A and B are shown apart, each in its own frame.
Chain A
Amino acid sequence: MYAQLVETGAKRVKSLDEMSPEERAFQEKIDAEVKIEPKNWMPEGYRKTLVRQISQHAHSEVVGMLPEGNWVTRAPTLKRKLQLMAKIQDEAGHGLYLYSAMETLGADRDEEIEKLHEGKAKYSSIFNYPTLNWADMGAVGWLVDGAAIVNQVVLQRTSYGPYSRAMIRICKEESFHQRQGYQILLDMMREGTEEQKQMVQDAINRLWWPALMMFGPHDDESPNSQQSMAWKIKRKSNDELRQMFIDQTVPQLEFLGCTAPDPDLKWNEERGHYDFGEINWQEFYDVLKGNGPCNRERINTRKKAIEEGAWVREAAVAYAKKQKQRAEAA
């Protein structure tokens, strides 16, 4: 999940009887699966929750470019380099679709980005892990984008129209990301040297648990989930999505000929799902609080990009003004 621990401001979900007439009409619309559009009345909590979730999602797309950017100049072939650049460009595009959806709620893009830079806004914990070898590019595409897809496919049905439409567009592009990642690993496992095969296993060992953390805390430790589900901002719970991801990923893992760093991972015939071990939640909360391996580096890189690009934005405005003046004078 690209949005984790999104605050809704609600301690518990109100019943229809406790709502004001406006709130009730709104909730009934949600219950009837009618999409909410920017000009419709909405509770302030709904608006704020969406701004938090969509901005967090957008920030994740943007910060998500950084671990991959690390490998553009180091990609093993021109083909892989072009693919990687296309993927990174998509992530920038996804960030823009999402910031646009967020702006329909009256939020300002610059302000929300400023919150990210001040450490007030979050982005997905996964991007605070380093990408240490080339196989990490494969594992990120396969596991990280794979986890994002599981989450985003469901979000296509989210109750807020602009968010839902952004998700539909993103999902169309996302499967390329996952497939290119898996193919990197497959090539290394099939044609690689012993050392390269070990790189693949090493990448999986490091990224497996952080990928599972992307779905956020357990349902019973996620007080905001209930409100988000009632508003149909979220459509499936964290644990449900995590299970879906594991069930579809384990056969792919086996096909690669690799293993997961989880001794408790095994098929449960009775449940019809894979059982798996407990996530290290302390690590999850530490990374989210800003103490992961790369948190400071990521934010500093973002700030530097904004600062060093300022003159380009200023020049564009100056040029536009000049052209306008010339056109008016002529």
Chain B
Amino acid sequence: MAEWSLYEVFVRSKHGLNHKHVGSVHAADAEMAMENARDLYTRRNEGVSIWVVPSDAITASASDEKEVLFDPSEDKVYRHASFYELPDEVGHM
């Protein structure tokens, strides 16, 4: 198993929806990762499309750094529609 790589699996559950991360599989190559992912994550019609990505190809943010990383967006309330108050007469916008 040590020689087998880890792949992350993403499944599109329905046409029109995003691929969503569902878990991981070990495999000797991408083709086998795809077959294993099919057997493991779509035994009951859970998907219409699968992506497998080598786990070491993913760069992730550390969840402990949450504050620092997302700090720039926290004080910009004017980016939200609710910041702009309009008179009732204008109606729905």
Contacts and interface: CB of A to CB of B under 8 A. Distances in A.
Interface of A: 37, 39-41, 86, 89-90, 93, 96-97, 100, 103, 109-110, 166, 169, 173, 313, 316-317, 319-320, 323-324
A312 B45 CA distance: 28
Contact of A40 (B6, B60, B64): B64
B68 interface: no
Contacts of A173: 43-44
B23 A97 contact: yes
Contacts, number: 49
B28 A316 contact: yes
B1 A39 contact: no
B64 A317 contact: no
A127 B50 CA distance: 35
B1 A313 contact: yes
A86 B32 CA distance: 21
Given A93-B43, A317-B28, A110 B1 contact: yes
30 contacts: A37-B63, A39-B64, A40-B63, A40-B64, A41-B64, A86-B43, A89-B39, A89-B43, A90-B43, A93-B39, A96-B25, A96-B40, A97-B40, A100-B24, A103-B6, A110-B1, A110-B2, A166-B23, A173-B44, A313-B4, A316-B4, A316-B29, A317-B3, A317-B4, A317-B28, A319-B28, A320-B29, A320-B32, A323-B29, A324-B29
B93 interface: no
B58 interface: no
B88 to A, nearest CB: 39
Interface of B: 1-4, 6, 23-26, 28-29, 32, 39-40, 43-44, 60, 62-64
Given A40-B64, A169-B23, A316-B29, 5 more contacts: A39-B64, A89-B39, A90-B43, A100-B24, A319-B28
Given A100-B23, A110-B1, A93 B29 contact: no
B43 A320 contact: no
Contacts of B29: 316, 319-320, 323-324
A249 B63 CA distance: 43
A292 to B, nearest CB: 28
Contacts of A110: 1-2
Name which of A86, A166, A320 has the most chain B CB atoms within 10 A of its CB. Answer: A320
Nearest to B60: A39
B25 to A, nearest CB: 7
Contact of A109 (B1, B39, B40): B1
Contacts of A103: 6, 24
Nearest first, the 7 A-B pairs at minimum CB distance are A320-B29, A316-B28, A320-B28, A110-B1, A317-B3, A100-B24, A317-B28
A96 B26 CA distance: 10
A39 B43 contact: no
B60 to A, nearest CB: 7
B30 to A, nearest CB: 9
A74 B39 CA distance: 25
Contacts of A40: 63-64
A313 B3 CA distance: 9
A325 B4 CA distance: 17
A110 B2 CA distance: 8
